[in-house]
Amino acid sequence: MQTDNRSVTTSRTPWIVGVSGASGTPYAAATIRALLDAGEDVDLVVSRAARLTILDETGVSFRDGHWREDLAAWLGWAPEDPRLDAVRYWPAGDFAAGPSSGSYPARGMVVVPASTAAVAGIALGLSKDLLQRAADVTLKERRPLVVCVRETPLNRGTLRHMVELDEAGAVVLPAAPGFYAGLKDVQQLVDFVAGKILDVIGVPHTLFQRWRGDLGSAR
């Protein structure tokens, strides 16, 4: 059963997770899983284009009206999993949604993966959808904003937009996993990027083995 978000009054202060239409939806899934496993609340916004990447990369059709089932399928959890109770979902076209306003309580926001379009839109303050509006609000309220850009190579426009985001106070965190933590499979590479995101926002995790100062110690 879907709930009406506006009828819920709690003191929860969530992290807003914006999923835009870049390749790399496993980075988003790993970040959402880790936030929920850490006991954080999550407000989720999935852009229209991200529905295509989620479908392409996971086979899941993400629907506003069935977001809990679709999110569960995407994360590999059962729809009844109680961890999903900490998620509030907002359609990307809903400019009246909570995260549209600075008075809505939020710890900050992560955009993962971030398309070059989202990078541009946030840097320019376009607010063309709820994801971009929520990011703009996060910046104006001086809350943490992490933008996990996924594109390669990068054109000069995107590079400039990334500098503008940095100057505006965001952390630009390319989806660029390191290979020094004894990683053996793709999921570990994905978790490395999610772990770097959680490091930036100060949420504890065990997504990767930390560098200990000895070459080869993680092998």
Rounded Cα–Cα distance for residues 150 and 21 (Å)? 10
Residues 153-212 touching ligand FMN, rule: CB under 6 A, are none
- Closest separation in Å from C-beta 188 to ligand FMN: 21
Helices and strands (H, E) in the chain, number of each type: 7, 6
Query: Between residue 133 and residue 152, which ones bind ligand FMN under the rule CB under 6 A?
Result: 150-151
- According to DSSP H, which parts of 59-155 are helical? 67-75, 116-124, 130-140
**What is the closest distance, in whole angstroms, from the C-beta atom of residue 14 to ligand FMN in the complex?**
21
Cβ burial of 81 (10 Å; 0-12, 13-18, 19+) is middle
| Least distance CB 92 / ligand FMN (angstroms) | 8
| Region near ligand FMN per CB under 6 A, out of 34-42, 50-58, 83-91, 134-142 | 50-58
Mapped onto helix, strand or coil, the DSSP state of residue 165 is helix
- Sequence length of the chain is 219
Query: What is the rounded distance in angstroms from the CA atom of residue 32 to the CA atom of residue 83?
Result: 10
Q: Give 16's strand partners.
A: 43, 109
Minimum Å gap between C-beta 102 and ligand FMN is 22
Site string for ligand FMN, 93-132 (x = CB under 6 A): ----------------------xxxx----------x---
Residue list for the binding site? 21-23, 47, 150, 180, 196
- Residues near ligand FMN (CB under 6 A) are 20-23, 47, 49-50, 52-53, 56, 115-118, 129, 150-151
